Structure formats: C-alpha cells, structure tokens
Structure 1
Amino acid sequence: MSDARARAEHIFRARFGDAPLLRARAPGRVNLIGEHTDYNEGFVLPIAIDRAVWVAARLRTDREVHLVAADFGEEAVFSLDGLRPGALRGWAAYPAGVAWALEGAGYRLVGMDAVVAGDVPIGSGLSSSAALEVAFAVAWAALSDHEIPPLDLARLCQRAENEFVGVRCGIMDQMAARFGRRGHALWIDCRSLAIEWVPVPPEMVVLVADSGVRRALAASAYNERRAQCEEAVRRLRSRDPGLRALRDLTSAALEAARAELPEVIYRRARHVVTENQRVREAVDALRRGDLPAFGALLNASHDSLRDDYEVSSPELDTLVEAARTVPGVYGARLTGAGFGGSILTAVHRDAVAEAAEAMTRAYAARFGRAPTLFRVEPDEGAQVEQIANP
C-alpha cells in the first residue's frame, strides 16, 4: 500500500471516527518534452508518474465540505453553496475550485468529508496541483453518482485552476493525470486535445532531481511568458491574418518576420516553434527505440528554455550539466514551468546510480546542499476504488 494512501485513510478514521467510503488517486506528471507549448496550442509529451495524491472520502448529508490536508496538518471547511473565485486561499482553493467548476457545468455535488495526502513534491514542477484537482474531481464524481467524460473532467479541472485559483495553466497537467498509462508517454495535441500513447523503451529510466528551489507559479514570470507569446501572435497577424497561435508558425515564417519583432518576443516565439518540432521528433525517436536521438532532443529543449525562453536557473543548469557528463545518460532538461523545481534525466537503468552521484556531488559543491532525487516510472491515470466492508 502507498504510504500516502495509508496516511490518508488512517487520518480519516482518526478525524471522522469511521472508515472512508472510497479512495481516489491521481498521479503527478513529468513532461518529457514540450515545455511552454500547451498554452500555445502546441504539442506535449508527458508521463503520469508513480507518485500521486490520494483522497479518502465519504459523502455528507448536507452541502458542507470538511477537508483535512494530512501533509500540512491543516483543515478547511466550506459550503458548496455560494462558492466564488477568491473565496478560499492556499491548498483548499484547489478542491473548492473543482467543486465550483463541476457545479458550474451542471454536476450537482454532495457534501464531503475527506483527507488528502500525497507524495508528489509540492512546487517541484511535477504538477501536484493538477493531481490534487483531478483526485478530488473523480472522488466527487463517484460520491455524487456522476459519470463525467474524462476529457470534460480534465477541462473542468483546468478551469478551476485558471478561473478560481487564478493560475493560467494549460491543459496538459490535468490530461496527464486523467489519461496516463503505465509504460507509456502521452502525446497530446493541445489544440484538438487528440491523444496517443507512445511506448517508452523499458531500458530507459526517468530520474528526477528536485533542486529544492520552490516557485509560486501564480506570482512568477509564467504569466509574463504567456503574454509575450500572445504579443508575438498579434504582431505576426499583420503578415498572416489567419494566424491563431504560435503552433501554426513555421521556423521559416518566423525568421522572415524577425525584423518586425522585438528581440525578446522573437526569442520567446522561436522557443515555442522549435519545441513543437522537437516533440514530433521525440515521438518518432521513442517509437523507433532510438534513445540517443531522444536524449539529444531533451538537451536541445533545455538549451532553448535556458537561452530563448529564459526560465531556467543556476540550480537547474548545474543539475543538467552534471547529468550530461555521465555515460548512459541520454539527455537532461528542466521539466515543468521552470524558475526552480526539477530536472529530468533520461538514463539507461544501469547508469542511474552514477547519474545520481554526479548530480549530488556537483550540486553540493556549488550550493552547499543536496538535491532530492527519485526515479519515476510511467503509471496509470486517475482511479477511484470503493472501499468494501469499511
């Protein structure tokens, strides 16, 4: 049994005096490649990981919601009636936002007693927020006897984060949490929301290194980068009135218009255009089992994020550079929005220990502390289990 699952159920019994009726799980994610492309209607290639958020829950007879965050030692109480953006702050805003979005879409919910616990590192770029949202969404759907189509559920969780919490995230994180499949990456077209599962060669391991640098996404330069992409599209429409998003722009068209764009806007657009092409090539490389080619694309992605999108940091760069020195490492790059958080290393399973040692040694030498390292495997998306004989 997962430690987080056991912790959620144990605290539920202690706090509410009975066993929960169900347990819901939603995984974190690592985005293998395709960074800052989702809100530009481009392509991404995440994996759902074997670290997750667990919700132990039972229904109430009223419309109140009583929540316990096991990892914070905090509680929150709110009513499903009259929920509005800005009404709650902190971790409780995420489940409240999910309830608000589901009810706004016509799914009337029951009150809930619940305990939430997880082992997805918070603020590390592995999307603990989407895991939290999706876990509560599937729990509420089960308790309230609703069958919510998976894509609709992902969209409603995104709406909760965008409009209730106030973070302008794309759709990738929620889709990875809902649609993940063990042993596979998930290719997503963020315009059509078409998906394909792409097998991950079994000799490749994903080693995540958490820098320990926490970022507040809502307060970071994430929203600025997104606005810069939108500005690029507005400026380029003078050449192509039908241009909808940077996803539609070719490298040749961008270069032809370079003189018309401020340098920083040009570099932001160049990252998105080239990153979309890297995602396409990465899918082909995985399908061929060509891990050196896949790793070279990861390296190019990080370099673009560092130089053109400017979302890396000295901590992330140090980890990436150290990983790349190790034989058996295919490639390394930051994952998530950047500005702190984690990197991922695609590495042959026989080289995991050497890669971990190299990153730890280099990081400690420069920053006086060790990164947190953990190996992840592609895992299943969100699941709900009724607890028989509670």
Structure 2
Amino acid sequence: MTTSLDSRNQSLIEEFERRFGGRPALIAVGPGRVNLIGEHTDYNDGFVLPVAIKRDVRLVARPREDRHVRLFSLEYDAWYEFHLDALAYNDDVLWANYVQGVAWALQERGIPLTGMDALISGNVPRASGLSSSAALEVATARAFLAVAGQEGALTGPQLAQAAQRAENQFVGVNCGIMDQFISVLGQEGHALLIDCRSLDYRLIPFPAEASLVIGNTKASRSLAGSAYNERRRQCEEGVALLRQRLPAIQALRDVTGEQLEANRDLLPPLVYRRCRHVVHENERVLQTVAALEQGRLDEVGRLMNASHASLRDDYEVSSPALDAMVEAMVSVPGCYGARLTGAGFGGCAVALVRPGQEQAVADAIFDRYPKATNIWPEVYTSPPAAGAHVISLGNGSA
C-alpha cells in the first residue's frame, strides 16, 4: 500500500465524507491503458505491448459490517446499492454491472467478501479505446479484496483473469485479457509484453528518449462491436482452412508469414488479408520489443506506422477520423510514428514522440484534425504509469 495523496484524492475523500458521512478507509486505483502495438492479436493467442497510463478509475471505500454494497458514481451522479448474496444484472444501470460482476467473479473463486461503501470516480475517457471498463473492474477488485482483508488471495494474473471473467460472463462483453492484465501489472517507466496464450509477461523498459501522445478522435465507435465479432470469425475461418495443410496450428499465433504466403491459395482474399494483418502484427510486436531494448526509436516508429497501415488496409478497422488523427501526428518532425490503438473505428491513436515535442504534436492535432473531420479532439500525454494499487487511509468508520 502507498500513502501519497494528490489533490484529486483529497477532493474525492471530501466527496466521500459528504455523500456517506465518516471517513473512508482506502483508495483503490486502476489505471487505463494504451496499446503501443499488437492490435487484434490477443484473441488470436498472440502478443501485445500495452502501457498503463496516468488516467485511472478510483474507488474511495470503507468496509461495512454486513454484505451490503452502497455505491455512488461521481461522473454519473448516481447511487446504486446491491447485496453480495443477490447479484443481478441491471439493464438500466450499466456501470454498476461491472462492480457486481467483479464481486461475482471473486466469490466464484471462493474469496469471502464483505460489504462496502464506495465512491467511484474516473478520468479515463469512456468509449475511447483506453480501457475505462478494465480500469473500473481492476480498481473494484482491489477495493473488494482490501476491505475484506483478502489482498493476498490472488496473484496479479489471477486478479486480472477474475476481472476479465466479470466482463465476459457477467457483463457480457467478450474482451481479451490484455486490458485487465496491464491495469494490474503495469509499472512506471515500462511497457508490458504479454503472451496472450500462456499469459507469460515481461516488463520492457521504456526509453527516456521517448514520450507518448494520445489523440482522442471523439468519433463514434458504433461499428466496433459488430466488426470485432466479424473479424474474430474471419480469423477462425482462416485457421480452419490453413489446418488442411498445417494441422498442428491452433490459432494464427502459430502461423509464420512464410507459411501464410505458401498457403494463401486456401483462403478467400478477404480472409487472407485478415490473417496477414494478425500474422505480421505478431511479428511487429516482437520486433518492437527488440527495437525498444536496443534504443532504436526510429525503428519503433516505423513499426507503428506499418501497424496502422495494416489495420487500415488489411484488417479494415480504421476510419477517416483515425486516419486524419494519425496523419496529423506524423506531420510533426518530432514524431517517430503513430497508429490507431484499441479495437478501431473511433477512439484513440497513439504517437511515439521525442521529449519536448509533445506540444508540437498536440498543436498539429488541434490544427489539422478538426479541419478534416469537423470534430474537436482531445489530447493527452502520459508516461508509462504504475499498475493498480491501494492507498491506505486508516480504518474508516460507518
């Protein structure tokens, strides 16, 4: 547990006292994330390279002596209450389902929970591809475990899997493991290489000679859900067809670029392009890790640019808004490279830039992007940040 309190934490504590009366016991923090490279590889058993960002969801909480959970969401300006023995999906209060889902997933693992009062607040932009849902799930899990005295009950990977299960099975969103994994296991100054098959992971030092700029297109992502499911089916179709000659493969993760080219006659043109993106994106992730470790930032930028082109042309999940965002970013000489991040169709793009050039990239975005789209964007800068943690405030009392 850490003990530092920033101005945001102080204001949230005051808000908790105003809403609930009495002092809170702790603040649980779950960060959002941006994926540096490795898009649409997670559900193909591949590799991803996300970083946690300095935007997060925080639960200011204290334990209760019963099994009742009282929540207040600051951003939604809404209360929600439930009992740990009567969890039920609510069609009308969607944000509360993530909290209930985490309680369900932890109890399914046999972890005894207790009730809590909790104020929820986040500054991860919603529906932007920066994983606000995973940040909420992970912060909630850390809060539930802390108020119940069960902080050592799960390893980091187990906590991430419980949060993913909450989203998959209780909330009903078929997400991969990356978002929860980086929210739990991120570290300051590091990216996290994740093998989505084995769940092995390795922290990759992030060079001091680079900074991250995130551009939020503020464009609709209404197509993302249906297109995501369609792309998954196309990848599965590709694997089934390739197995005719490559019977040992289980997923596109197992296919090399050479094997794909040698057997492209088995695949319809569209399925081939989908597979080509995934196969080469996995290769790009590992090449990016090597380039980061060697300090070759120009090569990292080249790989990011190639990833965006592949997502645009082969996987077809970019959009005019995302393309305009990336074009604005790479127009600045201090930008090494840029790409869409997240599922696509809207949301955010991420740029790797030279330190000191962040404002120049932001200025280019604010100048060029609205002219191309008639949408005013948002721009965030963030170094790789710490993963989920709990700040102890004392015992708290109801």
- Number of residue pairs the alignment of both structures matches: 390
- For the residue of structure 2 that corresponds to 1:170, the secondary structure is coil
Q: Decide whether the 8 Å contact of 2:224 with 2:344 is kept in 1.
A: no
Query: What pairs with 1:239-258 in structure 2 (closer than 5 Å)?
Result: 239-258=245-264
CA apart distance, 1:82: 3.4
Distance 2:71 2:232 in 1: 33
Q: Decide whether the 8 Å contact of 2:24 with 2:395 is kept in 1.
A: no
| Structure 1 residues 101 and 345: alpha-carbon distance in aligned structure 2, compared to 1, 3 A threshold | same
Distance 1:333 1:290 in 2: 18
Q: Does residue 102 of structure 2 align to residue 98 of structure 1?
A: yes
| Structure 1 residues 7 and 37: alpha-carbon distance in aligned structure 2, compared to 1, 3 A threshold | farther
Distance 1:154 1:217 in 2: 27
Distance 2:256 2:189 in 1: 32
Aligned mate of 2:51, from 39, 47, 69:
47
Partner of 1:61: 65
Aligned mate of 2:19, from 15, 20, 30:
15
Distance 2:280 2:77 in 1: 44
CA apart distance, 1:388: 2.5
Q: Decide whether the 8 Å contact of 1:4 with 1:117 is kept in 2.
A: no
| Structure 1 residues 91 and 198: alpha-carbon distance in aligned structure 2, compared to 1, 3 A threshold | same
Partner of 1:75: 79
Partner of 1:347: 353
Deviations along 1:220-249, whole A, 9 cap, x unmatched? 422222222122212222222221111001
- For the residue of structure 2 that corresponds to 1:50, the secondary structure is strand
Aligned mate of 1:137, from 136, 141, 144:
141
Partner of 1:27: 31
| Structure 1 residues 88 and 105: alpha-carbon distance in aligned structure 2, compared to 1, 3 A threshold | farther
Give the TM-score of the pair, scaled to structure 2.
Answer: 0.94
Q: Decide whether the 8 Å contact of 1:312 with 1:338 is kept in 2.
A: yes
Percentage identity across aligned positions? 51
Distance 1:139 1:211 in 2: 32
Q: Decide whether the 8 Å contact of 2:57 with 2:124 is kept in 1.
A: yes
Residue identity opposite 2:393 in structure 1: I
Structure 2, unaligned stretches of length 5 or more? none
Aligned mate of 1:279, from 270, 273, 285:
285
Query: What pairs with 1:146-161 in structure 2 (closer than 5 Å)?
Result: 146=150, 147=152, 148-161=154-167
Q: Decide whether the 8 Å contact of 1:98 with 1:136 is kept in 2.
A: yes
Q: Decide whether the 8 Å contact of 1:53 with 1:119 is kept in 2.
A: yes
Distance 2:7 2:350 in 1: 24
Aligned mate of 1:166, from 172, 192, 196:
172
CA apart distance, 1:199: 1.0
- For the residue of structure 1 that corresponds to 2:346, the secondary structure is coil
Partner of 1:182: 188
Partner of 1:361: 367
CA apart distance, 1:380: 0.8
Aligned mate of 2:294, from 273, 288, 311:
288
Q: Decide whether the 8 Å contact of 1:207 with 1:352 is kept in 2.
A: yes
Partner of 1:37: 41
Deviations along 1:252-296, whole A, 9 cap, x unmatched? 211222122122211111111000000000000000111000000
Deviations along 1:297-324, whole A, 9 cap, x unmatched? 0000000111111111111100101211
| Structure 1 residues 80 and 173: alpha-carbon distance in aligned structure 2, compared to 1, 3 A threshold | same
| Structure 1 residues 220 and 20: alpha-carbon distance in aligned structure 2, compared to 1, 3 A threshold | farther
CA apart distance, 1:374: 1.1
Structure 1, unaligned stretches of length 5 or more? none
Residue identity opposite 1:313 in structure 2: S
CA apart distance, 1:389: 6.8
Distance 1:106 1:231 in 2: 38
Q: Decide whether the 8 Å contact of 1:123 with 1:216 is kept in 2.
A: no
| Structure 1 residues 369 and 140: alpha-carbon distance in aligned structure 2, compared to 1, 3 A threshold | same
Partner of 2:329: 323
Distance 2:266 2:338 in 1: 34
Deviates more, 1:256-265 or 1:240-249: 256-265
Q: Decide whether the 8 Å contact of 1:97 with 1:165 is kept in 2.
A: yes
Deviates more, 1:256-265 or 1:313-322: 256-265
Q: Decide whether the 8 Å contact of 1:4 with 1:119 is kept in 2.
A: no
Distance 2:69 2:362 in 1: 43
Residue identity opposite 2:367 in structure 1: R
| Structure 1 residues 215 and 42: alpha-carbon distance in aligned structure 2, compared to 1, 3 A threshold | same
CA apart distance, 1:85: 5.3
Q: Decide whether the 8 Å contact of 1:181 with 1:381 is kept in 2.
A: yes
Distance 1:222 1:350 in 2: 36
Partner of 1:259: 265
